[in-house]
Amino acid sequence: MTQILIRLCAAALIMCWSAAVLAQRPPRVFDRCEVTFTPVVLSQAYNPMSPDDYVQTFQTVMHRPGGDDTRGMNYSAILLRRANDRLPIEIYILDVEGGTSTGKALYDRPGPPLGPELGNNGEIEARFNLGINSNPATMAIRIPAGTEIDPGQLVFEFDVKYLCNHDDERTERGNNNRGFTISFPVSTAVQASLVGTEPDFGEIGMLSDIDVAGAPPSTTRRDHYMRVASTGPYEVMVVSQNSWRMTASGAPTGNASERIAYRYELLDQELDSSRPNFTPVICKASGISGENIRLTATLTEGGQGKLPSPNYRDIITVTVTPLAVDVGDPERCD
């Protein structure tokens, strides 16, 4: 009787030990609930100055862990913006292999709750059948025109919030931080335009040099502006066709009786026939809204005694060049 009891107890211990070991075994590969995405790199640059929305279609692949013996499970996932990203971008799901699930897939944190059902608007429905652990998806990104983004290579990071429905009716939820990334270049763009009318001194044929020197600014000074919008630093350069003189025909001439001198001011530099060269100025980014740069022309010589002509004029060329990176010490130019 004693021997029988000992044997039963030993058998019970063996059975308990086997159950404990079994409980400690890691879950089989097909029980892992996780969704990852292949990173996406787009070659088309975003131009913040474009009047059209930036819309690009691309493909990525959703993955789940496991090998050829993985069982089929229903997966559902949504993409969440990183907490520090508040640009008005949108990601759309156009098609998923094995079943279309269209709609927006981008939400502010914490995003809508994932329920046990699949196919909700905005969710990516990924069905992984037996032996399949990858699932292609066609997606699109849209950035509204005029969205201000710094130039360079931009990387958007998204969290992936997913849900897995197992064959044994278990449901698991999880998060894959930075589980999906999409990157593309942002171009450096500049727009420049003249604000107002071109400077015109009107009739000056009866004014002597002494008259000009004593005349009020309303007679001798003309201000106009150049509006510059830029997403990055830019360089400003200016030249005069006639070395800061108006000529009777508008073309360069060596005849002093056919030239009327004036002074030009731009970005704290004064230019005239004795100081004709402008030193290029590097300006800080002015943003999409832009800034106005003052351009001032001041008459320094009268038209009395000059060859009569209704066409005294000069051609001023202002060049605005975008720079890929900051060079030197850029300044504000508004």
Give the tens place of pLDDT for each residue, 79-102: 777 655 667 888 877 766 555 455
| CATH value of 28-186 in 2.60.40, 1.10.3470, 2.30.30, 1.10.10 | 2.60.40
**Residue type, position 95, single letter:** D
Residue 39: asked if its preceding bond is cis (omega within 30°), the reply is no
**Regarding beta strands 171-186 and 40-41, do their DSSP bridges make them parallel or antiparallel, or are they unpaired?**
parallel
Same fold, 28-186 and 190-322: yes
Report the distance separating Cα 102 and Cα 92, nearest Å: 7
Lowest mean pLDDT among 6-10, 25-29, 66-70: 6-10
Segment of 13-17, 18-22, 319-323 carrying the highest mean pLDDT:
319-323
Cβ of 107: how many Cβ atoms within 10 Å?
A: 15
According to DSSP, the β-strands at 36-37 and 54-63 are: antiparallel
Given a cut of 80, whether residue 325 has pLDDT beyond it is: no
Contacts of 111 (CB under 8 A, 6+ apart): 78, 80, 161
May I ask the CATH class of domain 190-322? Answer: mainly beta
Q: Do 295 and 269 contact (CB within 8 A), yes or no?
A: no
Average pLDDT, the chain: 79
Query: How far is the C-alpha of 208 from the C-alpha of 303, rounded, in Å?
Result: 6
pLDDT of 21 reads 39
pLDDT level of residue 32 (50, 70, 90 thresholds): low
pLDDT tens for residues 224-268?
999 999 988 999 999 999 999 999 999 999 999 999 999 999 999
Cα 103 to Cα 208: distance, rounded to the nearest angstrom: 74
Amino acid 283: pLDDT: 93
Q: Residue by residue, what is the 3-state secondary structure of the chain?
A: CHHHHHHHHHHHHHHHHHHHHHHHCCCCHHHCCCCEECCEECCCCECCCCCCCEEEEEEEEEECCCCCCCCCEEEEEEEEECCCCCCCCEEEEEEECCCCCCEECEECCCCCCCCCCCCCCCCEEEEECCCCCEEEEEEEEEECCCCCCCCEEEEEEEEEEEEEECCCCCEEEEEEEEEEEEEEEECCCEEEEEECCCCCCCCCCCCCHHHHHHCCHHHHEEEEEEEEEECCCEEEEEEECCCCEEECCCCCCCCHHHEEEEEEEECCEEEECCECCCCCEEECCCEEEEEEEEEEEEECCCCCCCCCCCCCECCEEEEEEECCCCCCCCECCC
| Stretch 36-51: mean pLDDT | 92
pLDDT at position 67, please?
Answer: 55
Domain spans in the chain, listed from the N-terminal domain onward: 28-186, 190-322
pLDDT for 4 beyond 50: no
Residue 115: band (very low, low, confident or very high) from pLDDT cuts 50, 70, 90: low
Structure tokens at 193: 């335009």
